[in-house]
Amino acid sequence: MVNISRINLNLFVVFEAIYTERGITRASDALKLTQPAVSHALGRLRALVGDPLFVREGNVMTPTPLAHELIGPVRRALREIEDSLNQLAEFDPQTSRREFKIGLRHMVEPLAIPNLMERIKDAALHVTISSVHHNRADFQMQLTMGTLAAAVDVLLPLTHNIHHEFLAGGPMVIVARRAHPAIDGAITLATYLEQDHILVSSRKIGPALEDLALAQLGFERRIKLRCQLYLTACKVASNSDLIVTMPEHYARAINEPLGNQLIPFPAEVRAPDLYLYWHASSENDPSNRWLRGQIMASFQQH
């Protein structure tokens, strides 16, 4: 049995840094420690657990199976300690130099970031925001480990320790250039189906939400272009007769400088709702509460 009172918890801080940086030199730089100090701490931890933890392969320190097993519990424990200490301190956005990593899918970023940065530009001069693409398969783990402060996505299955709140929803609209020969402020379903379309999806294959709705009505549209970003699609639409079907809140955020017209979709289709996600351990953290408030307020501006 290991007596926790005899263990220097800084050993696990060093372990997490080496695991993340995959090297003694990079870990020492990240921790602002000397390389001998980091090497000494690793040696003590190796003796404690009876495992090398990392094996050098060229310039990279490769984790052993035991290191892979340890990293999750170690990160969670360190994060809980850090969160507990943070909650004891007041958060002042005017003086803070915190960096907040927010998980945003590529298509959501243009909707979330411009208004957020506009809101905090004077109120949090030294705060840094990092928009990070997150994988839906592991974003809950990233919130748990603290590598993400928050995330924005559609409604997803959740574990009990992930909290969420509604951010935005609404109808689908059609985006077309102002001088489109077949569209002038309104469109019928028949005219819609006669056009060439842009399908926007991060997936390589498969229908979009609007295609599923059309299929239920017995219709299929003609796809001329498939791309990954609404911004790309709207730029193409502004210089061609192709049209884009997209959520209204995205369309308003993207198309103002492009001058495209936005027309209601000629069928009952709602856009997927967006939610803000955070970990239960951050619920009462002053800095995380501030961040969540800024994100929610920035979405209400749309």
Residues 225-271: tens digit of each pLDDT = 999 999 999 999 999 999 999 999 889 888 988 999 999 999 888 88
**In the CATH scheme, what is the homologous superfamily, with its name and number, of domain 172-264?**
Periplasmic binding protein-like II (3.40.190.10)
Parts of the chain belonging to CATH 3.40.190.10: 99-169+273-300, 172-264
pLDDT level of residue 4 (50, 70, 90 thresholds) = low
Q: Which residues pair with 166 in a beta bridge?
A: 275
pTM of the model: 0.66
Residue 150 in tokens: 């928050």
In the chain, the amino acid numbered 180 is: H
Distance, in Å, from the CA atom of 284 to the CA atom of 61, rounded to the nearest integer, reads 37
Q: Which ranges in 89-208 belong to alpha helices (H)? A: 109-120, 139-145, 189-194
Judged by DSSP in three states, 227 sits in strand
Secondary structure tally for the chain: helices H, strands E:
11, 12
Non-local (6+) Cβ contacts of 18 within 8 A are: 24, 27, 38, 42, 53, 54, 61
Closest CA to 225 of 255, 254, 197, 262: 197
Taking the domain 99-169+273-300, which CATH number applies? 3.40.190.10
4-88 architecture in CATH?
Orthogonal Bundle (1.10)
Convert the pLDDT of each residue in 203-227 to its tens digit: 899 999 899 989 999 999 999 999 9
pLDDT level of residue 135 (50, 70, 90 thresholds) = confident
Parts of the chain belonging to CATH 1.10.10.10: 4-88
